[in-house]
Structure 1
Amino acid sequence: MNNERLRPVFVISVAAELAEMHPQTLRQYDRMGLVSPSRQGGKQRRYSERDVELLREIQRLSKDGVSLEGIKRVLALENQVAALQARISELSNEVFALRSARQNAGPGRVFAAGTSGDVVSLTRGQRPRGRSQALVIWNPRTK
């Protein structure tokens, strides 16, 4: 999200005008936790562009007949979805990086451990020599 949209610049009267609401409505929404403007100089509310967009969304939902408690729940769920989408994106990037690292590491390594405790590195597809009782351990790496 653009940081400029998050910068608190509008006093309550300007934000109310931009959102086409009464300033007292904005105060009520602040008390309910629907919108949380920044505080400048201790008490004076300052609204960002994002806050004004949120006020418009609240107004739209309210006109559609959703109660304020319902709106609060809708907004909480939307925030949760956004956080989960961001986490999915992070995890997808991590999986991509791990897959790239795995592919660049080359083929998986194969080892054989004999009954006497000796460990021999083998190439993929190679078997221990003779009729050995060796235990073969293979770490597959798919591409």
Structure 2
Amino acid sequence: MADTRGVFAISVAAERADMQIQNLRVYERRGLLEPARTRGGTRLYSEADIEVLLRIGELLGQGLNLAGIRRVLALEAEVGVLRSQLGDARPSP
């Protein structure tokens, strides 16, 4: 799992995800990700956020709109939770 500590400025995150800065702001407004903020309000992106941005790029490339992407991301997160619960419920050998 990727690090969730916000360490990258928006310009670095945009460059690493190969996106425009304004797109990152749109994705945040649409609820696709929520970067950390400094006390002054500056966005700080984590490795996990960048992974989400890369996934958004993949889904956009497949023709999904932002509402569809939000749903896919939510379902993928739910599957991750269920998988971890199944892993915890399995008896040890």
Common fold: TM-score over 0.5:
yes
Alpha-carbon separation, structure 2, partners of 1:63 and 1:90 = 35
- One-letter amino acid of the counterpart of residue 45, structure 1: R
Question: RMSD across aligned C-alpha pairs, in angstroms?
Answer: 1.4
Residue equivalent to 2:12: 14
Residue equivalent to 1:57: 55
User: For structure 1, which runs of at least 5 residues remain unmatched after alignment?
Assistant: 101-143
**What's the CA shift string for 1:78-110, capped at 9, x where partnerless?**
000000011111111xxx26xx8xxxxxxxxxx
Task: Work out which of the residue numbers 22, 29, 52 in structure 2 matches 1:31.
Answer: 29
Alpha-carbon separation, structure 1, partners of 2:38 and 2:4 = 14
Deviation at 1:12, TM superposition (A): 0.4
Alpha-carbon separation, structure 2, partners of 1:91 and 1:42 = 43
- 1:47 corresponds to 2:45: yes
Residue equivalent to 1:85: 83
Alpha-carbon separation, structure 1, partners of 2:37 and 2:70 = 21
Who wins on radius of gyration, i.e. which is larger? 1
SS at 1:34 equivalent: coil
- Greater strand percent: which structure? 1
TM-score normalized with structure 2 length? 0.92
- 1:72 corresponds to 2:65: no
- One-letter amino acid of the counterpart of residue 78, structure 1: E
Deviation at 1:42, TM superposition (A): 3.7
The alignment of Structure 1 onto Structure 2 pairs a total of residues equal to 93
- One-letter amino acid of the counterpart of residue 46, structure 2: S
Deviation at 1:62, TM superposition (A): 0.4
Using CA pairs below 8 Å that are at least 6 residues apart, which structure has the higher relative contact order? Answer: 2
TM-score normalized with structure 1 length? 0.61
Deviation at 1:74, TM superposition (A): 0.3
Alpha-carbon separation, structure 2, partners of 1:66 and 1:8 = 27
